[in-house]
Amino acid sequence: MSLQICDLHARIVERAILRGISLEIRPGETHAIMGPNGSGKSTLSKVLAGHPDYEVTQGSVVLDGVSLLEREPDERARMGLFLAFQYPCEIPGVSIANFLRAATQARLPEGESLSVTDFYQKLYHEMDALGMQRTFSSRPLNSGFSGGEKKRAEILQMAMLQPRYAVLDETDSGLDIDALKVVAGGVNRLRGPEAGLLIITHYQRLLDYISPDFVHVMVAGRIVQSGGPELALELEKRGYGFLEERYGSSEVSPLAGAGTPG
Amino acid sequence: MIRRMLPEMYNGGTKQTPLPTWWKEIQEAAWVDYERLPMPSRKDERWRFTDLGKLAFTGYTAGFPVPEPSRTELQAFFQRGQAPALLFANDSLLFSRSLSPEAKKKGVLLTPLLEAANGAADLLKSYLFRERVALGAEKLETLHRACATAGALLYVPAGVELEQTVDLSFWLSEENAATFPHILVVLQENARARIHLRFGSTNPKGGFACSVQELFLGAGAQLEIFTGRNWAEGTCSFDLASVRLDRDANSTSFQLNRGGGYTRTESRSRLLGPGSRSVMLSATMARDRQEFDQRSFQEHSAPNTRSDLLYKSALYDSSRTIFAGMIDVDPGAQQTDAYQSNRNLLLSPDAEANALPGLEILANDVRCTHGATIGQVDPEELFYCLQRGIPLEAAQRLFVLGFLTDVIDRIPDADAKRTLAEEIDSSLSQPRRP
């Protein structure tokens, strides 16, 4: 049981962005991917989720023994993959509650219909735990939300859908320290032996609140270094500059063309 | 072209009252006009974009007997309601539920037109067939005048507020049946009423309908009228509505359109008294090869009048919609505030929306805005929904619901709003006819 990414290459139009990513996330583990802007971190999350703009040119992704890449984005999600978006879309006129009802209904076996009472009980329970006003659930999803509200709405969705593997794409960006704590609290509630997490971040500060088991550094479409939580602290101190100098271009990288063991 | 069955041939229906002479004369004159008027033509601007091949006037029979299974089905539908109501099928009155004793005591009248011709002849005579919608379908309007006998008169005397919603429904039960419903509403000064009008079929396919709504609002009167259309596949239908508003009168109309083959609506708001206001709303869900052809006219004839039109359509499959609207402001209609907006959401590459918003302003101190949009689902929004595990079809349903939310939100009455939202939701959950 794991989310296994093996030698993944992907491009958008003609530009190669992922150049051989290998990483395995087991349930119960929390991985962090750090890296400078443009290193391909967000691309990795979108390729995993099946965004149509990206083309996988090489490699494989296997979720609990089932190959992911030839499946539609909604199938991948129902298999247990969740992506907390860096820039969540506004869905005009669709309330959070109705949106989540549709998502929950989609996970039920064919012909079974959702118990509305149970659904709202769970929704309010999760909202209470995230310190959200219940009236928030009737607001149109992400419409006119502040940055913090959008990120909280992502965490609420994650809590409701209980994914096997969650990828959080720069969930900390644009958050003040209070919002960051709430979001981190929500993420920590999901952690447990059943869930594997991949946290993508530019800064170390989110990792003060969600301590990862593994930290990976991504530069120019590759994982160039992996380690424990201490790696994040080192990066915070030294910056990404030295790594970019060393691995910044695919031509000079010693790892070019080869996957890096996760 | 349209045959009429004789009332004697009715199979268990109510016996028809003979028409009074004045009505017969109107019918005869209408036939003459009908023969004289040209068929809709592509050369006529008012039929621009219409797929004239979908118009079918021949082979229908008015006054077709209603067969037993349809009668039973309609009875079951009727019995679910509680409001004062009249239910017609193939132009014969099948069921009715009367007004509350309080409403009757206050002088409110809800009656089939044929009964009104006897019991309230003067009232009927002074209002029936007075209005002309005339947004292109004049030939159909005269055909209606020549054929219409089914329909309702709702009369609310001055100062009376009718609390109960009035349910009027008109049905077709045969592929080759025709119906000519007429809705006549007279609200005297400061009277108030709410009407739920429904058009539908018990047969799976075909039929012809040509209805006219004449709505007269006295000074300060208030009307809310909801029209739900859900004709069987392939039905050719016309619904021509005119609302006349005196000083400070207030009208809100809402149409929910689905089903049918070719559906043309013509809606004229006549703001004749200062301070009057008309809100015109429409939500359309077009599927398969359905065509919805909507024409509107906001006629500002007096100062300080307001009109506000919002028509939204969601188009699936190879469906088509046409919106052609006109805001017309007379030289004397200063301080007019008019708004006209048509928005279309295309859910299929084969769907086609046509929008022709229009303004003609002859006054100089007015505020008029109009606009039209035709858009598709944003691919990022779709990806977001898919990533939550929502399949494509369910995601489209959410987008359509979200898209139509702002029209529904404009309905003032909370119960009506909830009913409509549920109706839209359930019709989207069961994309094929229930």
pLDDT digits (tens, 9 = 90+) for B210-258: 999 999 999 999 999 999 999 999 999 999 999 999 999 999 999 999 9
Q: Do the Cβ atoms of A78 and B389 come within 8 Å?
A: yes
pLDDT value at residue B13: 41
DSSP state of B65: P
pLDDT value at residue A243: 81
Q: Residue A53 above 90 pLDDT?
A: yes
Res. B430 pLDDT band, cuts 50 70 90:
low
Average pLDDT on A47-56 reads 97
pLDDT value at residue B433: 39
Residue of chain A whose alpha carbon sits nearest to that of B406:
A93
Q: Which residues of A touch B392 (CB under 8 A)?
A: 74
Arithmetic mean of pLDDT over chain B = 93
Q: Is the ipTM of this complex over 0.90?
A: yes
Which helix H or strand E contains A149, and what residues bound it? helix A147-161
Res. B6 pLDDT band, cuts 50 70 90:
very low
pLDDT value at residue A249: 55
Residue-wise pLDDT for A137-163, tens only, equals: 999 999 989 888 999 999 999 999 999
The three-class DSSP label of residue B207 is: coil
Residues of chain B with a CB closer than 8 angstroms to some CB in chain A: 378-381, 383-392, 394-395, 397-399, 401-406
Considering CB atoms only, which of A74, A90, A140 is closest to B386? A74
Which helix H or strand E contains B242, and what residues bound it? strand B236-245
Q: Which residues contact B129 (CB under 8 A, 6 or more apart)?
A: B26, B145, B214
Dist CA B64 CA B201 (whole Å):
13
Q: Which residues of A touch B390 (CB under 8 A)?
A: 74, 99, 102-103, 106
Dist CA B164 CA B85 (whole Å):
10
**Is the CB of A157 inside 8 Å of chain B's CB atoms?**
yes
We find that the CATH architecture of domain A3-92+163-247 is 3-Layer(aba) Sandwich (3.40)
User: Taking the mean position of all CA atoms in its chain, how far away is CA B116?
Assistant: 22
Burial of B88 from C-beta contacts in 10 A (0-12 / 13-18 / 19+): buried
Q: Do the Cβ atoms of B402 and A78 come within 8 Å?
A: no
Nearest to B239 by CA among B182, B309, B157: B182
Considering CB atoms only, which of A82, A88, A98 is closest to B384? A88
- Return the residue in B377, B390, B417, B422 with the most chain A beta carbons within 10 A, the one to mutate for interface testing: B390
Q: Do the Cβ atoms of A140 and B402 come within 8 Å?
A: yes
Both tokens assigned to B269: 């708001």
Q: Which residues of B touch A83 (CB under 8 A)?
A: 387
Q: Residue B272 above 90 pLDDT?
A: yes
Dist CA A3 CA A197 (whole Å):
10
Both tokens assigned to A210: 């969600």
Dist CA B142 CA B147 (whole Å):
9
pLDDT value at residue A204: 84
The three-class DSSP label of residue A260 is: coil
Dist CA A53 CA A75 (whole Å):
17
Average pLDDT on B175-190 reads 97
